[in-house]
Amino acid sequence: MTKKSIFLLSLLCACTLLNAQEFVNELNGFRLGQFRKTSENEFGAVLEKGKFDDGYEYQAHIVSPDSTAYMIFEYAPEDTAVIWSIQFTGTNSEMDPGFKGLKLGMPASEVKRIAGRPGSKESAGEYGDRWEYEHTNFSFEIDLDGRLSSIKIMNVYPKENTKVPDLPSFENTLHALTSGDNETMMEALAPGIEIYTDNQTLFFTRSARHERSTDASGIFKTVRELMNGLDQVDINDQEQFSMDMRVALGQDPMWVFKILKGHRVKEIVMKNINGKFLVWEISA
């Protein structure tokens, strides 16, 4: 089976909106880097799944009652437990995938007005044309009737924007995690965050959109509880706080805020994910 199937676009180079660097990490409520089980928990039965010769795996799910829209999730061979790409495709013009106001079925002229002129167009055979941009991670398919039939994002960060971010700030991280706003908290948390507390491991089990609105996994509630009183720790006191580097083979260094005494939280691990340090682990 090849990646020219109806379910998956071929691997693309990074693309952009109007020649600006842009990385999109969420599509129809799911974030790149979330655990594979989130789609299964959200939609239930898998419509189709398979594996390509290069080791990439995929799963497809129907997401509309009338089967006019579905999503395809792809998983890279180096870690098939997390989402590497997300594709929203079909003919449903009512659902909002949360991508620049685009909806399936829009005429190509409207797509171009919103997203700009593509850097190149490639034939997708019976499925129409694939529109590729530069310096970002998304692409579109335009069907033979000249209408938008697919949006896809991939975990491919633009090479032009690979500068290592400044070291994470404990104060800024704590501010985001105590904001009281699920949206702000979500932006500070890695899609695959794990929280170790009370002899259990918590992680997001549903789509990001579902989690933000319902806190289905209890992540936000738990983070709020764990952060309570953490602002009383004196980060200038070496007996209370330290910031250390964690190095693992084949991975970028991570930074660890260590609470040495005076609080329930023991470690907050920060990982550089696509140019931004996010909370990767919390141990309490």
Report pLDDT for 163.
66
Which two structure tokens, joined as six digits, stand for 212?
Answer: 């933000």
Enter the DSSP assignment of 88.
Answer: E
**Interval 58-67 mean pLDDT:** 95
pLDDT tens digit sequence for 186-217: 999 999 999 999 999 999 999 999 999 999 99
Q: Quick one: pLDDT at residue 136? A: 85
Question: Is pTM, for the whole model, over 0.75?
Answer: yes
Q: 258-275, pLDDT tens digit by residue?
A: 999 989 999 999 999 988
Whether residue 270 contacts residue 253, with contact meaning beta carbons closer than 8 Å, is answered with no
pLDDT computed for residue 17 by the predictor: 35
Mean pLDDT of the chain: 90
Count of CB atoms situated within 10 Å of the CB of 199: 5
- State residue 230's pLDDT score: 95
Nearest to 116 by CA among 15, 225, 262, 201: 15
Q: How far is CA 186 from CA 114, 131, 154, 155, 208, in A?
A: 27, 30, 19, 18, 8
DSSP string across 240-254: TEEEEEE--TTS--E
What is residue 161's predicted lDDT score, i.e. its pLDDT?
54
Chain CA centroid to CA 252, Å: 18
pLDDT value at position 39? 95
Lowest average pLDDT, out of 19-33, 85-99, 140-154, 175-189, goes to: 19-33
- For the residues of 56-68, what is the DSSP string, one character each? -EEEEEE-STTSS
Give residue 22's pLDDT band: very low, low, confident or very high (50, 70, 90). Answer: confident
Q: What is the mean pLDDT of residues 53-61?
A: 95
Bridge partner residues of 131 (DSSP): 121, 140
Confidence (pLDDT) at 249: 78
Q: In this structure, what DSSP letter does residue 7 have?
A: T
**Residue 15 pLDDT greater than 60, yes or no:** no
Asked if residues 204 and 219 have their Cβ atoms less than 8 Å apart, the reply is yes
Q: At what angle do helices 219-227 and 170-177 cross, to 10 degrees?
A: 130
What pLDDT sits at residue 7?
A: 40
Q: What is the largest CA-CA distance in the chain?
A: 67
Read off the pLDDT of residues 88-135 as tens digits, 9 standing for 90 and up. 999 999 999 999 999 999 999 999 999 999 999 999 888 899 999 888
The vertex-9 CA angle with 124 and 121, nearest 5°, equals 45
Taking 3-state DSSP, the helix, strand and coil percentages for the chain, each rounded to the nearest 5, stand at 20, 35, 50
Residue 56 CA to residue 64 CA, distance in Å, equals 26
Answer whether residue 11 shows pLDDT above 70: no
State residue 18's pLDDT score: 37
The residue among 184 and 22 whose pLDDT is bigger is 184
Lookup result for tokens 């020219």? 4
Q: Is residue 13 pLDDT above 70, yes or no?
A: no
d(C-alpha 2, C-alpha 8), whole Å: 9
Q: Say how far apart CA 11 and CA 75 lie, in whole Å.
A: 12
Beta bridge partners of 154: 85
